[in-house]
């Protein structure tokens, strides 16, 4: 990839569902070779954005380029360079993990010997060996997610898109996956774009984060930069920074019938 182009660049990227605007004029540029955390509450527009960036969902308006290739004009060039773990995982339920990974490897044009070499190390790293004789339909949620991640990695993509990658994954695998992602960035300069609604996951892991709420990008920068922009004490958690940034008040509706002691 040309070193000058951003890994991801969007211009007024917009997606509507009926009258509702899920992603609203998103302008974002992500440099090559960084880990970028896309943070926002449920329903903020994270998955819709990832689906557009990976050419799974057409935008209503605006454009995006991935590694310099336009998602609308050159979707195959985009797909060649990326790995994706989408929200819905899109796995064939009646295959085993190895079969599913092999299928994806072949679709990417890898030769059989290379696929055979890569699969055992992926299964080992993700602790999926026990799945070898089972079909995906019989996997736990976490195992499915790890299978989807293995599929996204088999062709050594330049840019990796992960939608809530650690949700449902145990701490041991979470640590292993984080280490692998850091090694990919350090070794091959892979760009990693991942979404999460769990703020603490981004802390110490991301080079940069973007905060999205109600379809709008609210802030982009390193976590120290974001901290500086909100008026909070130095030791405030990232969750505090996030809540301050999106302007959510903590005094929501009270569920008095659940919390208050009637006899008090
Ligand atoms: N296929 C769809 N049809 C209608 N509305 C949708 C659809 N997908 C998402 N939305 C709406 O778009 C908004 C953003 O959703 P999503 O991108 O899934 O958010 P996030 O991933 O940040 O939780 C939400 O209000 C959601 O209800
Ligand atoms: Mg989502």
* Atom of ligand 1 at shortest range from CA of 212: 22
Q: How far is the CA of 255 from the centre of ligand 2 (A)?
A: 26
Nearest CA to ligand 1 atom 12: 22
Kindly state the average pLDDT of the residues 35-63.
95
Confidence of residue 252 (pLDDT cuts 50, 70, 90): low
Question: Which ligand ends up closest to the CA of 38?
Answer: 1
Instruction: Provide the pLDDT for residue 59.
Output: 97
Provide CATH code, domain 8-249. Answer: 3.40.50.300
**Rounded distance from Cα 197 to ligand 2 centre (Å):** 8
| Nearest ligand for residue 39 CA | 1
Going from N- to C-terminal start, the domains of the chain cover: 8-249
Digit-coded pLDDT (tens) for 135-170: 999 998 888 999 999 999 999 999 999 999 998 888
70-125 pLDDT, tens per residue?
999 999 999 999 999 998 888 999 999 999 999 999 999 999 999 999 999 999 98
Using CB distances shorter than 6 Å, the residues near ligand 1 are 17, 22, 40, 42-48
> Which ligand minimizes its atom distance to the CA of 49?
1
User: What is the predicted pLDDT for the residue at 90?
Assistant: 85
pLDDT of res. 199: 80
* Tens-digit pLDDT profile for residues 21-33: 999 999 999 999 9
| CA distances for 37 relative to 26, 64, 204, 257, angstroms | 15, 18, 11, 38
- 194-237 pLDDT, tens digit per residue, is 999 888 788 889 999 999 999 999 999 998 888 888 777 777 77
Please provide residue 236's backbone torsions phi and psi, each rounded to the nearest 5 degrees.
-60, 140
Residue bearing the bigger pLDDT, 198 or 54: 54
Measured CA angle at 144 (ends 74, 75), to 5 deg: 0
Helices (H), the chain: 46-53, 75-81, 97-107, 112-125, 141-153, 171-188, 199-202, 223-229, 238-246, 256-259
Ligand 1 centroid distance, CA of 65 (Å)? 22
Q: Six-digit token pair at 256?
A: 């008095």
Q: Are 162 and 195 contacting, i.e. CB atoms less than 8 angstroms apart?
A: yes
């Amino acid at each position: 990839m040309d070193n000058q182009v951003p890994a991801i660049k969007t211009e007024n990227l917009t997606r509507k569902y009926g009258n509702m605007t899920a992603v609203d004029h998103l302008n974002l540029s992500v440099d090559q070779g960084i880990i970028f955390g896309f943070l926002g509450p449920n329903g903020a527009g994270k998955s819709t954005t990832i689906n557009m960036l990976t050419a799974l969902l057409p935008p209503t308006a605006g454009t995006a380029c991935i590694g310099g290739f336009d998602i609308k004009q050159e979707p195959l060039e985009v797909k060649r360079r990326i790995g994706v773990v989408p929200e819905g995982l899109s796995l064939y339920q009646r295959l085993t993990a190895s079969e599913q990974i092999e299928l994806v490897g072949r679709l990417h044009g890898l030769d059989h010997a290379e696929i055979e070499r890569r699969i055992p190390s992926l299964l080992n790293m993700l602790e999926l060996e026990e799945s070898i004789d089972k079909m995906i339909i019989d996997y736990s949620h976490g195992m499915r997610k790890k299978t989807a991640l293995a599929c996204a990695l088999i062709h050594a993509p330049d840019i990796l898109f992960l939608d809530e990658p650690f949700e449902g994954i145990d701490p041991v695998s979470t640590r292993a996956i984080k280490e692998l992602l850091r090694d990919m960035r350090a070794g091959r300069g892979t760009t990693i774009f991942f979404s999460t609604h769990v703020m603490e996951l981004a802390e110490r892991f991301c080079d940069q984060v973007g905060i999205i709420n109600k379809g709008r990008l609210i802030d982009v920068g390193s976590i120290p930069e974001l901290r500086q922009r909100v008026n909070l004490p130095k030791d405030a958690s990232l969750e505090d920074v996030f809540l301050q940034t999106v302007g959510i008040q903590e005094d929501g509706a009270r569920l008095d019938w659940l919390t208050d002691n009637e006899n008090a």
